[in-house]
Amino acid sequence: MTASILAGKTYTIRTFGCQMNLHDSERVSGLLDSLGAYEAAGPADADIVIFMTCCVREAADTRLYGQVSSCKSLPDPPSGRRVIAVGGCIAQRDGEGLLKNLDNVDVIFGTHSIAHVGDLIAQVFEAGGHAVRTNEREETDATSMPWHRATTYHAWVPIMTGCNNFCSYCIVPYVRGREKSRQTNQILDEVTGLVRKGVREITLLGQNVNSYGRDLFGEPRFADLLREVGATGIERISFTSSHPKDLLPETIDAMAEIPAVMPHLHLAVQSGSSRVLKRMNRHYTREDYLSLIRAVRERIPDIALTTDIIVGFPGETEEDFEETLTLAREARFAQAFTFIYSKRAGTPAAKIDDPTPREHILDRFNRLVSVIEDTAYAFNQGASGSTMPVLIEGTSKKDAMKLMGKSPWNQTVLCPLPDGANPVEYIGKMVDIAIDTTKTFYLSGELVGGPR
Ligand code: SAM
Ligand code: SF4
Ligand code: F3S
């Protein structure tokens, strides 16, 4: 039934939030392709418009309402009937309740129900009304579904879903469920298949990859997994995210010893104050974090260390915040995602009142951004005069005559496109670039030799 009604229909997916959602969108897209639907240029040409949503901060929530409502003013699609579907974390959180604020939504599917999206959409095309599915236990998980990858050279590979950590500010464990690791064989088969298809780089995904395998083997096995993935022949391996409390010495050893593992570690610190970390339920202190990164630097001296930091957690004092600034300087972060705390209903931190004026929090945020800009610039300066392998992803958004790619340290690197060359000859290829300019957010230089 599903296949026949969706064949020939057009769809578009708008994705918010983290890499988990990006990957889930690739699975939704793969499923719709397998049912005979195909991707439209945008919402105006699409019979099916899907929003993959995020609720980690309030801003993401608000953006969704605007975008879904704006679909009402779109012209009719090719088939004459447009189905609007909302998936991802807001769908999981609100379920049918979403219809109260968004009266033009037809399908709601939760984070565990991706495998059913084709049936749910078909049901609305056939019978009208609404279709809602947000069950927490499903037999088919998204990782066993067909897959439509955004690029030919890079792939997101989920190794686990969910999170058991319950950081006191965070909604993720409530909308993604408990940690569930994929079987190692399944991951290795997938990576081997990707290598055969010419994929050069993979990113292993999980909310806390360091606890990979705890539910399968009774203890974390991320280091073993890295070694096995490293033996598949994949050229570049990165992973995200790592929780400091679970980063084991054997994982640091594996990172140092496996040539394909990139010298980049994303290790969210969240705050530099042990007092705040305790209230965040992070299970490490400032000193633990600093000694952990010293251990990483001993084994991998050139590591690019990146992080997430929250400013304005309820009750954060000026002294607490200054500890975050000193930690950021000491850690010499190569980049950081900085966030202003956003109250999430249902989390323990939402119950804590905070008298700190908004302008103080904004001022702290700006001071932190300025420290991160200094440390990021210092890190990039270290690349001056070196020649590095860069995986080309496309051209610069600002200048189509410049190739743009990623260094092993996850830096954005630009170089001029050779005269008469077509960028397509370079996309997904590795090139060497001799770096002559270092900025806070990117490096640039000259091509050395050709693509490979
Ligand atoms: N599991 C990952 C980890 O612990 O590194 C992070 C996942 S979360 C999707 C990404 C980041 O969002 C977190 O590291 C945190 O800095 C930020 N975040 C989560 N909840 C937040 C909130 N309520 N307000 C502001 N930022 C938040
Ligand atoms: Fe959220 Fe903490 Fe889990 Fe990361 S580890 S997803 S911040 S609860
Ligand atoms: Fe957002 Fe859900 Fe990811 S809340 S950050 S899309 S896990």
Nearest CA to ligand 1 atom 7: 207
Predicted local confidence at residue 38, as pLDDT: 95
Residues 31 and 78 in one domain: yes
Strands 38-39 and 10-15: parallel
Segment (H or E) for 315 = none
Token pair of 271 as six digits: 């705050």
In a domain, 18, yes or no: yes
The domain total for the chain is: 3
In a domain, 347, yes or no: yes
Last residue of some domain: 353, 381, 409?
A: 381
Q: How far apart are CA 223 and CA 250, in angstroms?
A: 6
Q: Which atom of ligand 3 is nearest to the CA of 56?
A: 4
Residues 439 and 310 in one domain: no
| Per-residue DSSP letter, 219 | S
For the stretch 134-151, what's the b/e string if a residue is b when 16 or more beta carbons lie within 10 angstroms of its beta carbon? beeeeeeebbebebbbee
In a domain, 281, yes or no: yes
Q: Which atom of ligand 3 is nearest to the CA of 176?
A: 7
Identify the burial level of 405 via C-beta atoms within 10 angstroms of its C-beta, where 0-12 means exposed, 13-18 middle and 19 or more buried: buried
Contacts of the segment 69-75: beta carbons below 8 A, 24+ positions apart? 69/102, 69/104, 71/43, 71/104, 72/104, 74/43, 74/44, 75/44
Q: Alpha carbon 199 to chain centroid distance?
A: 19
Token pair of 212 as six digits: 């990979």
Last residue of some domain: 381, 416, 431?
A: 381
C-alpha 170 to ligand 2 mean position (Å): 6
Beta-strand runs (E) in 82-232 = 83-87, 107-109, 131-133, 154-158, 160-161, 180-181, 201-205
Nearest CA to ligand 2 atom 1: 170
Residues 111 and 203 in one domain: no
Is 415 assigned a ligand-binding role in the annotation?
no
| Per-residue DSSP letter, 245 | G
Is 55 assigned a ligand-binding role in the annotation?
no
- Cα 181–185–186 angle (5° rounding)? 65
Residues 188 and 93 in one domain: no
Q: What are the residue ranges of helices labelled H in 263-317?
A: 274-279, 286-299
Q: Which ligand is nearest to the CA of 352?
A: 1
In a domain, 441, yes or no: yes
Tally Cβ neighbours within 10 Å of residue 377: 13
C-alpha 172 to ligand 3 mean position (Å): 6
In a domain, 138, yes or no: no
CATH of the domain at 422: 2.40.50
Residues 82 and 175 in one domain: no
Residue carrying structure tokens 């539910």: 215
C-alpha 171 to ligand 1 mean position (Å): 9
Residues 26 and 56 in one domain: yes
Q: How many residues does this entry show for the chain?
A: 452
Nearest CA to ligand 3 atom 1: 54
Residues 195 and 328 in one domain: yes
Nearest CA to ligand 3 atom 7: 172
Mean pLDDT by 10 residues, the chain (452 residues): 82 95 94 95 94 93 88 89 96 94 94 94 95 83 76 94 97 95 95 96 96 93 97 97 96 98 98 98 98 98 98 97 98 98 97 93 98 98 98 95 97 96 95 98 96 94
C-alpha 36 to ligand 1 mean position (Å): 37
Residues 343 and 402 in one domain: no
Q: Which atom of ligand 1 is nearest to the CA of 241?
A: 5
Residues with CB under 6 A from ligand 2: 163, 165-167, 170, 172-173, 207-208, 243
Residue 14's beta-bridge partner residues? 51
Residues 213 and 104 in one domain: no
Residues 198 and 246 in one domain: yes
Tally Cβ neighbours within 10 Å of residue 30: 16
In a domain, 125, yes or no: yes
Q: How far apart are CA 264 and CA 273, in angstroms?
A: 24
Residues 324 and 444 in one domain: no
Q: How far apart are CA 140 and CA 404, in angstroms?
A: 38
The residue range of the domain holding 21 is: 2-133
Q: Alpha carbon 294 to chain centroid distance?
A: 26
Segment (H or E) for 413 = strand 412-416
Is 163 assigned a ligand-binding role in the annotation?
yes
Residue carrying structure tokens 């103080």: 360
C-alpha 168 to ligand 2 mean position (Å): 9
Q: Which atom of ligand 3 is nearest to the CA of 21?
A: 6
Q: Which ligand is nearest to the CA of 64?
A: 3
Residues 241 and 318 in one domain: yes
C-alpha 226 to ligand 2 mean position (Å): 22
Q: Is the CB of 163 under 6 A from ligand 3?
A: no
C-beta separation of 179 from 208 below 8 A:
yes
Strands 160-161 and 154-158: unpaired
In a domain, 145, yes or no: no
